[in-house]
Every structure is written in C-alpha cells, then in structure tokens.
Amino acid sequence: MDWQGQKLAEHLMQILLLAFAVVAFATGYIMGSFQMMILIYAGGVVLTTLVTVPNWPFFNRHPLKWLDPSEAEKHPKPQLAVNSKKKSVKKN
Amino acid sequence: MHSFGYRANALLTFAVTILALMCTIGSLSDNLNTPSPSAQIEILNINWFQKQPHGNDEVSLTLNITADLQSLFTWNTKQLFIFVAAEYETPKNALNQVSLWDAIIPAKEFAKFSIHTSNKYRFIDQGHSLRGKEFNLTLHWHVMPKTGKMFANKIVMSGYRLPEDYR
C-alpha cells in the first residue's frame, strides 16, 4: 500500500464507520429495536473491514518513483561529497 | 496504516469506541421518555392473621394487583423487576418494608396485567405490632436497560388497615 493509499484507507475507515453508526442508531431508534442497531452496525464494521483492511489494488495507484540505478551511477559526485562531509564531521 | 495488522487494529479500536458512544447515547435517550405508569392493589381477603409461637405477627393476604407499566419500556429496556412491599411505621422504626410479591416483566406486552395472588413471601412483623396497623402497599419497579443507567421508582398506595384481632 502506497502513501496515498494509506491516507485513503484511514479516511475511508473513519467515514464508513461513522456513517454506519449514524444510520444504525437512527434506524434502531426509529424502529425501537436495539438489536437492529447492533446488526446494522456489525454489518457496517464487517463491510468496512473488507474495504479498508486488505491491500486492494486501488490503494496502490501512486507508486513511489525511485531513480533507476543506472541514473544514480551517472551522477556519483553528490554521494561522494556527502560521504566526505560525514567523514570530516566524524574526524572533528 | 502501512500493514494489514495495523489497519485491522485501527479499525477495531475505532469501531469499538463508536459502539461505546452509541450505547451511551442510547442510554441517554431513555431520559426523553416520560412514563405514566399506573397501579392498583386490592386486598380481597385476609386469609389468616396470627401470632407465631415465638411472638411475631404473621398475616396472609389475597391480593389483586392491576398495573399498566407499558410506558416504562423504551427501546433500551431489557426487562422490569417489580415488587410489592407492605410499608408501615412502628414505634421503634419509622419505616418497615416487607416484600410480599415480585415479578420480572420481560417484554412490553406483559407490562399490562392483572393478577390474583396470595402473598408470595411471608408478611411477618418482627414483633407483635400488626394488629389494627395502618399500612401502605407500594409497587416498586427497577427498569433494567440493555445498556447504561438503571431507573427505579414506585407508586405508593395507602389506606390499608389490618384487623384488630387475630383470626
């Protein structure tokens, strides 16, 4: 799951659970049935679990674009500069 | 949110938190109900009234209990516990309560009833002060909710009197 996917999963989870809670409470209160509220909410929790917990493909639409290894080989200087700086710090 | 376990844990925690909140609101919604229960108790007969060998007075009554407690039921009510107590005053104690009969009402459709019964539990005074005693019959009830706060209340019915002599 990529970064965007993680954000989406968290938002989906919160919105779905809250929406099911509101619907379940309203239905239960209007029908006068506590059991109905619990059943609707339990169904909502199961559905939310199925939507947000497995690593579905739509959570992986924004893969990180790492530089190609050959690209890095073409520009070795920055790495050397960083290394030499670190070494100098350690020496001090 | 990076792994299966982390997402499952976050979902479960949030779901249970919301469930607790729903139950709390459900319990609070009981306060919107304004019940109007009614009850009547008739003493049909005093079966016997005697002094026990060691000195306590005991009465046996036949009661007719009529009540309509349907308005106590809300969507969050599991059951009602009701009991009838005889309450009277003696020189030693300002309030004596003797439970005579009780019942559990499991659903709204049983909350309107009329029952003809003798006292389920023995009406014994710890002493010998029941002769000619004026007493109240009180219907107490405890509302047991599915979640949250329990409610209790009572209806006091006064003006009952025991006979002056044992029989």
Segment B96-119 mean pLDDT: 94
The residue among B130, B145, B163 whose CA lies nearest residue B57 is B130
The verdict on a CB contact (< 8 Å) between B25 and A53 is no
CATH code, domain with B84? 2.60.40
Provide the shortest C-alpha distance from residue A51 to chain B (in Å): 11
The H or E element containing residue B40 is strand B38-51
Q: Which residues contact A13 (CB under 8 A, 6 or more apart)?
A: A48, A52, B7, B10, B11, B14
In a domain, B166, yes or no: no
Contact indicator for B10, A13 with CB cutoff of 8 Å: yes
Decide: helix, strand or coil at residue B76: coil
Look at chain B and report how many structural domains it folds into. Answer: 2
Q: Report chain B residues touching chain A, CB-CB < 8 A.
A: 1-2, 4, 7-8, 10-11, 14-15, 18-19, 21-22, 25-26, 29, 74-76, 146-147
In the predicted model, is pLDDT for residue B54 greater than 90? no
The verdict on a CB contact (< 8 Å) between A6 and B11 is no
B16 and B73, same domain (yes or no): no
B46 and B81, same domain (yes or no): yes
In the predicted model, is pLDDT for residue B89 greater than 60? yes
Provide the shortest C-alpha distance from residue A1 to chain B (in Å): 7
B119 and B81, same domain (yes or no): yes
In a domain, B8, yes or no: yes
Mean pLDDT for chain B overall: 92
Q: Which of B18, B21, B76 sits opposite A34 (nearest CB)?
A: B76
Range name among A69-83, B53-67, B130-144 with the lowest pLDDT average: A69-83
Reading phi first (left if > 0) and then psi (alpha if -120 to 50, else beta), residue B61 is in: beta
B110 or B128, which is more confident: B110
Q: Which domain holds residue B155?
A: 35-161
Distance CA A85, CA A81 (A): 6
| Model ipTM value | 0.78
B42 and B25, same domain (yes or no): no
The residue among B52, B64, B48 whose CA lies nearest residue B163 is B48
The pLDDT of residue B83 is 95
Residue of A nearest to B108 (CA): A32
Q: Which of B1, B18, B25 sits opposite A10 (nearest CB)?
A: B1
The pLDDT of residue A83 is 55
The residue among B99, B94, B104, B90 whose CA lies nearest residue B120 is B99
A86 or B38, which is more confident: B38
The pLDDT of residue B66 is 95
Confidence at A84, pLDDT banded by 50, 70, 90: low
Q: Which residues of A10-32 are buried (b: 16+ CB within 10 A; e: fewer)?
A: beebbebbeebbeebbeebbeee
Residue of A nearest to B73 (CA): A32
Residue of B nearest to A54 (CA): B4
Confidence at B26, pLDDT banded by 50, 70, 90: very high
Confidence at B117, pLDDT banded by 50, 70, 90: very high
| Residue percentage of chain B with pLDDT more than 90 | 76
The pLDDT of residue A62 is 86
Confidence at B127, pLDDT banded by 50, 70, 90: confident
Confidence at A92, pLDDT banded by 50, 70, 90: low
Confidence at B141, pLDDT banded by 50, 70, 90: very high
Interface of A with B in 12-41 (CB under 8 A): 13-14, 17-18, 21, 24-25, 28-29, 31-34, 37, 41
Query: Parallel, antiparallel, or unpaired: how do β-strands B123-125 and B57-68 relate?
Result: antiparallel
In the predicted model, is pLDDT for residue B104 greater than 60? yes
The pLDDT of residue A23 is 96
DSSP A66: P
The verdict on a CB contact (< 8 Å) between A54 and B76 is no
B114 and B149, same domain (yes or no): yes
Provide the shortest C-alpha distance from residue A68 to chain B (in Å): 24
Range name among A42-51, A57-66, B21-30, B62-71 with the lowest pLDDT average: A57-66
Segment A30-53 mean pLDDT: 94
Confidence at B130, pLDDT banded by 50, 70, 90: confident
B46 and B59, same domain (yes or no): yes
Which two three-digit tokens encode residue B38? 């009614």
B137 and B155, same domain (yes or no): yes
In a domain, B167, yes or no: no
The pLDDT of residue A77 is 63
